[in-house]
């Protein structure tokens, strides 16, 4: 019962937070709702991976990988730029609170705390970027395979009509 | 004459058209860059538009502060300076839809120029009150996501809304981003401090972290590192410098307010 409460609170709040950030970034209305869904799924994945393994690098990487795949799919289906969905999706994951902790530590003369958090910010944002780029590369490979398949098939059809060597 | 210049003389009739294509491409790139598109997408869109008007060999170089666009074999080079950047993904979407239509050959050059100027000038955005409400809701949601207490919802809601409102107001007052971020994080710190003093708030740290979430540069830092990984070293480094400056402003502002404790 307690677990159910935690899941529902986390998913509702992450959906709302993502949509609200989308309004600040002026994302149009329909992609806003899809982006909220992506952000919610990513946050749930991150939350449970982090709670079970205690390693936020892996959890962030996995979540951002899922975000990028989902945003590529949404972007292709709805014919919108990928950035609409990926920016909305990474909002719950980005190390904003940590960035604040870095600077408040540095301003308050706690340099050790500041450097600890700064390294964490660097690693986490790097893992988000890696997750995004990783799935982009996967999509490019997929497209290349489709392209070659299409080329071969159309080449066969043209050869059948005797036009294969015409150019 | 060693034959080098003949190339230009032959294409003399098309030179005006090439100039127009370059102007349109740079305008599209400017709108994309000013409203928060990624660097490689700006370059890609400009080259695609040029390609679909049969102008090949276009070269573009994009940094956060300016665009250089040139077309080889023609003496066409355009430079545009970008001084103000924000995030308005609606305009990015509109330019993207337009470039899709251009690639299918549905829009001619004059029409494209007219539509781009229209997008550039339009001010369609969500109203200010909705943005303030959104920031307030986001702040209180982040409080719960970071496992804060239920009782702190109201202070985080008020502080987040006031922070975004301050950001909009101070930005209209002075066009310096650093200043408006600094002032609005002072406001956030003061509200959080006051709420704990009155007794409606409990964990001041969680309230502040929730409320500064709309201000801190989480997304810019991630985009900067992504640019560096994609090979756009110049724009990645300058974006991360900008993000560091924003984080610095927010950190100093909140700490300045907490000194009053």
- Per CB-CB distance under 8 Å, the chain A contacts of B100 are 79
Structure tokens at B19: 């100039």
B:175-204 residues touching chain A, CB 8 A cutoff: none
Confidence at residue A87, expressed as pLDDT on a 0 to 100 scale: 87
CA-CA distance, B185 to B253, in Å (whole number)?
Answer: 5
Residues B180, B214 contacting (CB under 8 angstroms): no
> Is the Cα dihedral A61, A120, B216, B204 positive or negative?
positive
**pLDDT string in tens for chain A (167-residue length):** 688 888 899 999 999 999 999 999 989 989 999 999 999 999 999 998 998 988 889 999 999 999 999 999 999 898 888 888 988 888 888 888 888 888 888 888 889 999 999 999 889 988 998 998 888 888 889 888 888 888 777 665 544 444 443 33
Q: Which two tokens stand for residue B119?
A: 């997008």
User: Would the CB atoms of B145 and A92 count as touching at under 8 Å?
Assistant: yes
Residue contact A23–B126, C-beta within 8 A: yes
The interface predicted TM-score of the complex, written ipTM, equals: 0.84
- How many beta-carbon pairs below 8 A join chains A and B? 148
Facing residue for B93 by CB, picked from A10, A80, A133: A80
Alpha-carbon distance A83 to nearest alpha carbon in chain B (angstroms): 7
For B9: left if phi > 0, alpha if psi spans -120 to 50, otherwise beta; the answer is alpha
Question: Are the CB atoms for B161 and B228 separated by under 8 Å?
Answer: no
pLDDT tens digit at each of 261 positions of chain B: 344 444 444 455 566 788 888 889 999 999 999 988 888 889 989 999 998 888 888 888 999 999 999 988 878 888 999 888 888 889 999 999 999 888 888 888 888 889 999 998 988 788 889 999 999 999 999 998 888 888 888 999 999 999 999 999 998 888 888 899 999 999 999 999 999 999 888 888 889 989 998 888 888 888 888 888 888 899 999 999 988 899 889 988 998 888 887
Instruction: Report the C-alpha gap between A35 and A107 in whole angstroms.
Output: 35
Among residues B95, B119, B112, the alpha carbon closest in space to that of B20 is found at: B112
Phi and psi at residue A94, to the nearest 5°: -60, 145
Taking contacts as CB-CB distances below 8 angstroms, the residues of chain A near B253 are none
Would you report the helix, strand and coil content of chain B in percent, each value rounded to 5?
Answer: 70, 5, 25
Q: How far apart are CA B212 and CA A21, in angstroms?
A: 12
What span, in angstroms and rounded, lies between the C-alpha atoms of B197 and B190?
A: 10
CA distance between the termini of chain B: 79
pTM above 0.90, yes or no: no
Residue B177 to residue B64: CA distance in whole angstroms = 15
Distances (CA, A) of A122 to A125, A127, B20, B221, B244: 5, 9, 43, 9, 12
Cβ atoms within 10 Å, residue A54: 9
Average pLDDT, chain A: 85
User: Going by C-beta distance under 8 Å and a sequence separation of 6 or more, which residues neighbour residue B198?
Assistant: none
Q: Are B85 and B246 in contact (CB under 8 A)?
A: no
Task: Work out the angle between the directed axes of helices A111-161 and A56-78 (0-180°, nearest 10).
Answer: 40
Location of structure tokens 């996501």: B145
Pairs from A105-112 (Cβ < 8 Å, separation ≥ 24): A106/B251, A107/B251, A107/B252, A107/B255, A108/B255
Domain coordinates of chain A in residue numbers? 2-161
Q: What is the pLDDT of residue B38?
A: 86
- Is B255 in contact with B190 (CB distance < 8 Å)? no
The partner residue sitting opposite B250, judged by closest CB among A10, A16, A100, is A100
What's the confidence (pLDDT) of residue B223? Answer: 86
At residue B5, the pLDDT reads 46
pLDDT of residue A155: 61
Q: How far apart are CA B246 and CA B261, in angstroms?
A: 24
Domain ranges of chain B: 13-121, 128-258
Angle between helices A2-24 and A29-53 (to 10 degrees): 140
**Mutant choice from A96, A101, A109, A134 vs B, greatest count of B C-beta within 10 A:** A96
Q: Residues 102 to 131 of A: which have CB under 8 A from any B CB?
A: 102-104, 106-108, 121-122, 125-126, 128-130
């Amino acid at each position: 019962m307690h677990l159910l409460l935690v899941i529902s609170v986390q998913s509702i709040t992450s959906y709302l937070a993502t949509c609200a950030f989308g309004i600040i970034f002026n994302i149009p209305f329909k992609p806003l709702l899809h982006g909220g869904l992506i952000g919610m799924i990513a946050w749930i994945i991150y939350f449970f991976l982090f709670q079970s393994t205690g390693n936020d690098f892996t959890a962030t990487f996995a979540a951002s990988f899922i975000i990028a795949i989902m945003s590529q799919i949404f972007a292709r289906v709805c014919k919108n730029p990928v950035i609409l969905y990926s920016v909305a999706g990474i909002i719950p994951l980005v190390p904003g609170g940590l960035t604040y902790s870095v600077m408040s530590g540095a301003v308050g003369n706690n340099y050790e705390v500041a450097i600890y958090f700064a390294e964490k910010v660097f690693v986490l944002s790097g893992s988000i970027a890696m997750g995004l780029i990783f799935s982009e590369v996967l999509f490019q490979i997929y497209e290349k395979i489709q392209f070659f398949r299409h080329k071969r098939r159309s080449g066969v059809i043209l050869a059948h009509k005797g036009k294969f060597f015409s150019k | 004459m060693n034959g080098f210049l003949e190339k230009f003389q032959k294409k003399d009739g098309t030179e005006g058209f090439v100039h127009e294509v370059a102007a349109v491409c740079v305008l599209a790139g400017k709108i994309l860059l000013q409203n928060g598109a990624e660097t490689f997408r700006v370059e890609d869109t400009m080259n695609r538009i040029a390609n679909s008007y049969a102008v090949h060999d276009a070269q573009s170089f994009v940094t956060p502060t300016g665009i250089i666009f040139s077309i080889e074999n023609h003496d066409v080079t355009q430079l545009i300076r970008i001084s103000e950047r924000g995030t308005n993904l609606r305009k990015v979407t509109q330019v993207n839809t337009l470039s899709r239509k251009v690639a299918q050959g549905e829009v001619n050059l004059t029409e494209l120029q007219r539509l781009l100027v229209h997008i550039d000038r339009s001010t369609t955005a969500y109203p200010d009150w909705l943005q303030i409400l959104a920031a307030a809701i986001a702040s209180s949601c982040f409080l719960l996501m970071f496992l804060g207490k239920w009782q702190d919802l109201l202070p985080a809601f008020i502080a987040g809304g006031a922070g975004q409102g301050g950001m909009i107001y101070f930005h209209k007052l002075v066009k310096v981003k650093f200043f408006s971020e600094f002032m609005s994080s002072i406001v956030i710190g003061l509200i959080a401090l006051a709420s704990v003093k009155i007794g409606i708030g409990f964990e001041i740290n969680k309230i502040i972290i929730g409320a500064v979430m709309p201000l801190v540069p989480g997304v810019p830092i991630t985009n900067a590192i992504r640019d560096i990984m994609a090979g756009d070293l110049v724009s990645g480094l300058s974006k991360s410098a900008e993000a560091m400056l924003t984080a610095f402003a927010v950190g100093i502002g909140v700490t300045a307010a907490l000194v009053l404790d």
